[in-house]
Homo-oligomer: A and B are copies of this chain.
Amino acid sequence: MAVYTEIPDDALETFIASYDIGALTSYKGIAEGVENTNYLVHTEEGSYILTLYEKRVRREDLPFFLTLMEHLAARGISCPVPVLDREGRVLRELMGRPAALVTFLEGLSVRRPRPEHCAALGAGLARLHLAGADFPMRRPNSLAVGDWPGLYESLAARADEVAPGLSGVIEAELDHLARHWPSGLAEGVIHADLFPDNVFFLGTRLSGIIDFYFACTDMLAYDIAICLNAWCFEPDNAFNVTKARALLRAYDRVRPLDAGDLEALPVLARGAALRFLLTRAHDWLNTPDGALVRPKDPLEYLRKLRFHQGVTGVGAYGLGAVA
């Protein structure tokens, strides 16, 4: 959470005047998002989020993310809608940074999702996958299974600073995943970072999905695996099978899972756990003391990985009656 770039009032007034959304009436830098600077902007016509893309986002990827949001919104997904300026542009520049204005979504991020939230999430994820089916752009997943060995190499020498023995666990897991990673499953646009802080609810109704800046083209079931990890473990790291069942059944009702998806789910969940273990360990080792953003705990994902290592079939996720 941080506002990396301040915007003077006159600069933002001029910027907003290039859109057909009324005059700027207020703006506040908000503590949301780790990678970018975000402002909540009020104009005479409504509320918007202005994002300045800081250096960790690759500029050449922005058209994919912004066009995807337009595509999904046009198909009824409740996601931020990029606003066109008077010249029809979505991607702009402000304070020397790429910038985009999107609609503001009401809703709350749920700290402790209940099974109803997991069900709404599952259905919402399936709708997102269906809505993305005819999206014409492709972006390879830059944090896919083939990228993990290289990511591990960059931190291998210090992995045991995160936890004693971690290097051995990761090396064995990389080996396992290289040999068992599935292929031939349904692919499409995935969100790839659908944690509870990227999903808004009003009550138990899913009111919005945000932060598409990891979205890419990959196996749809891998997106489900990421969600199982992010939504179905309790604070004490116990896996909540009721939540997993609710998520998977609701997904399946909107976009039926086939036998291949279901069979692959345990190994995909191991991969998803390793992916976040690796990036969190990287951030943990490379965040200077006193940084604006505190790194997340990598060991949370080590514990999730260990759970999935003990899973022998999709029954562990509460299924069995689905397919």
Contacts and interface: CB of A to CB of B under 8 A. Distances in A.
Contacts of A87: none
Contacts of A202: 23, 25
Contacts of A112: 8, 10
A137 to B, nearest CB: 30
A109 B9 contact: yes
A94 to B, nearest CB: 15
Q: How many copies does the complex hold?
A: 2
Interface in A252-302: 288-292
A32 B3 CA distance: 10
Contact of A31 (B25, B30, B106): B30
Contact of A8 (B23, B104, B111): B111
Interface string A105-134: 111111110000000000000000000000
Contacts of A109: 9
A30 B40 contact: yes
A62 to B, nearest CB: 23
Q: Among the interface residues A29, A31, A292, which one has the most CB atoms of the partner chain B within 10 A?
A: A31
A57 to B, nearest CB: 20
Interface of A: 1-3, 8-10, 12-13, 23-32, 40, 42, 47, 104-112, 200, 202, 288-292
A-B pairs, 5 with minimum CB distance: A290-B290, A29-B31, A25-B106, A28-B30, A8-B111
